[in-house]
Structure 1
């Protein structure tokens, strides 16, 4: 028995406040992971009572047993799932989310995905495909046309397999049918995620058909957005715990912190849901909000997780309880980040710092360090670049940054469960090298290679030696 309807829910579980049967899809979302379900879907859920035309169709892009099992679970539950929001105090609230109205597995039903994307009722195509999912060549900063899957899509554009192929083929059909373009909205944790998405999709479109690309560029929009909510992986043990607490029988429950934020540029090609009623901040420019979140929360997340992985910690709250690791993260924020950061209206950097530390300490999240540390190469480039460049240009202390890099490189070399999806054979070879210098050639550090890195690199090498000879704790800057 699984969660199939919202007609009879246990006491204390919040049901959708709209008639689920009457809502209509207006959004297609690629990458139905936990963050999307606790963030974008959470916001959309709250405005369907005001405008029922913005329900969501989820799309999975990957084939295989795991993907098929996930699709079957969504179908079995009519795409309902429960979300438990838990504060650092331990107080929790459980609600059932109903805005996800179907789930399509693209490899099994490619034409169904294209039909849904081509339907003029679809006015937003959103995505959470990870920081590294936009196929941007790290060496050139441009869309990578040499990617095998992209090459195949360019050869057979009407039978796509990548998100770029699906979206551009659907836009071609819409143009030919006289329909409007849709908004392409990244909800990934990237600085200027809309700009990155624009580069990726237009890069593919130009390679396919220059005239089509011009139409897409003139008619589609790519709003930038800053997204924030800690949403950990849900193990079978956590599923059992969540269901016991809620009284539900849900195969797809998830847990998230009570904090959530979405700052979004109000740039939509064909309308949008009234998300401001759910707390979304619509602004002309998200830059300052992005900088604060990425340079403080995300940057300290990996500054904590890389050494914590080496020290054997499993969850972020456990790592933050280590006095040495906490002291290092706080010093990183206070000395390396805050002095070079501009706060947007209504935000104090010291208050934001305190919020970050409080959120990391929430034991109910049991936020897995390996999850946070994964795809470290992409995250280092996105989360640390500005802070590193500021330190190098201002010639300030680089010890904490060097420690973070040293811990990252030692993690690459020694932790077998660590995942770096953007690494190819050459990068894997550099990452696993036993010497102290080779890994510094990784593209992870390209964003500041134009500056004088002599002191930084020397410090990284020094701290890698300390980690190997005396352990991580001995390498933490005083």
Structure 2
């Protein structure tokens, strides 16, 4: 998409109509992935379209993605978002990105210096759960994480996002500059608190005084982000080429729905993202739990049991009445009762909206993609509601089936005997446990006893062991489709 102009692009494409030269790199974003492009990037672009905003974004990829950054530069930091509804597709060229950096291309120092520039007010992140280097069981910094060990040994040459942020804040403090806000946009419960805990602990291990300065001066707002954004495939990129008239290796497709709830807790300035539909609130937690449990929890349920049932995409599972009904019941009977929402929240309407979003045939959201990193996701997506049902003595068979589906999936072999490409930070140790038991219900208590995933009060609870064992046995005897239908 080099030489982008009204002449080269199809007429239906929406272009930035504002003067991009007024934008400054006031946000440095770590993680130029698919979700960020279709969410924060688009929101920031829309603010510039609708106001005199000068908020621009410097994009940084810390791990991999060099080719993506190179492509972004070649096309003047413009990229495409295709919002695909069931009936029609809206195509927008996003102009909010002002520059980009990558340590492999530009050096570690260039990234730190950019974050230390006086006009930078926000460092935001989409670095996935594992990017916080936190122990899932305790939420504390994992001091044995190889990235943490390396960064503490050599603070001026960081590798982790935490290391970069702490080093940039140190430079700002030493130069007498105001700090920036650290804003997590990851799909992690109380993401601001997770980021704060990891960064403060890391900083204190490096320098107690620096840790105290960060705690006193930096804010870490929680955010709740929601938009279904499948990973870009060749098919997606070919379709975008057809839609806009030129190739765009940075293009991304997503659903029309979007939501962003932000804790209004910024130490410096911030864009008025509410112009683009974001909601600033005092407490994000109820919205976060609603989304993590109802959307993400049912997504994981559909990912494991859908993959095992032979469905490649979430929308494929929705063509099966058993999966469609089970997903709705998972939301309303397993997840909704565990929530504590503001008065007037209509959870049934939300569940219906989610089912409609999952059904959108234009989105090719792979069950395999959602199934990644389950050891990091299951505690947040199912743990809280499971705890609620154990306290209440209520039914949680949908959660048990979802966990059993995950256990069957991480064995690495599907129902037809084909290999599953299991992507998970704990994949090797999970495979070891599974191989020592084979596809046998005896694996259930062994996997439930992994405290990094299941707290003792859940993992060693005989009621949980029985329920998950029963679901797992059904997967062996009857397969995923029949197990889901029986719910």
Q: Which whole-Å CA distance do the structure 2 matches of 1:431 and 1:112 have between them?
A: 45
Partner of 2:174: 176
**How far is the alpha carbon of 1:345 from its aligned partner?**
5.1
Question: Is 2:477 the counterpart of 1:469?
Answer: yes
Asked if structure 2 preserves the Cα contact closer than 8 Å seen for 1:392 and 1:451, the reply is: no
Asked if structure 1 preserves the Cα contact closer than 8 Å seen for 2:449 and 2:460, the reply is: no
SS at match of 1:37: helix
Mean Cα displacement is larger for which, 423-432 or 111-120? 423-432
Given the two structures, how large is their TM-score scaled by the length of structure 2?
Answer: 0.93
SS at match of 2:411: helix
Question: Is 2:14 the counterpart of 1:28?
Answer: no
Partner of 1:39: 39
Partner of 2:465: 457
Q: Deviations over 1:362-388 (max 9, x none)?
A: 011111111111111111111111111
Selected match of 1:110 from 95, 98, 108 = 108
Partner of 1:147: 145
Asked if structure 1 preserves the Cα contact closer than 8 Å seen for 2:38 and 2:81, the reply is: yes
Q: Which whole-Å CA distance do the structure 2 matches of 1:22 and 1:85 have between them?
A: 27
**How far is the alpha carbon of 1:445 from its aligned partner?**
4.0
SS at match of 1:57: strand
Q: Which whole-Å CA distance do the structure 1 matches of 2:192 and 2:473 have between them?
A: 40
**How far is the alpha carbon of 1:235 from its aligned partner?**
1.1
Question: Is 2:61 the counterpart of 1:60?
Answer: yes
Partner of 1:92: 89
Tell me: CA distance 1:345–1:119, structure 2 relative to 1, closer, same or farther (3 Å): farther
Mean Cα displacement is larger for which, 158-167 or 32-41? 158-167
Tell me: CA distance 1:225–1:396, structure 2 relative to 1, closer, same or farther (3 Å): same
SS at match of 1:13: coil
Q: Deviations over 1:322-376 (max 9, x none)?
A: 1111121122122222233233355310110110000000011111111111111
SS at match of 1:446: coil
Partner of 1:156: 154
**How far is the alpha carbon of 1:121 from its aligned partner?**
0.9
Q: Deviations over 1:201-253 (max 9, x none)?
A: 11110110010011111111000111000001121122112221232332221
Partner of 2:416: none
Partner of 2:363: 365
Q: Deviations over 1:377-429 (max 9, x none)?
A: 11111111111111111111232221111111000003444444321643442
SS at match of 2:352: helix
Structure 1 runs not aligned, ≥5 long: none
Partner of 1:426: 429
Q: Deviations over 1:72-100 (max 9, x none)?
A: 21122122111111223x22111100111
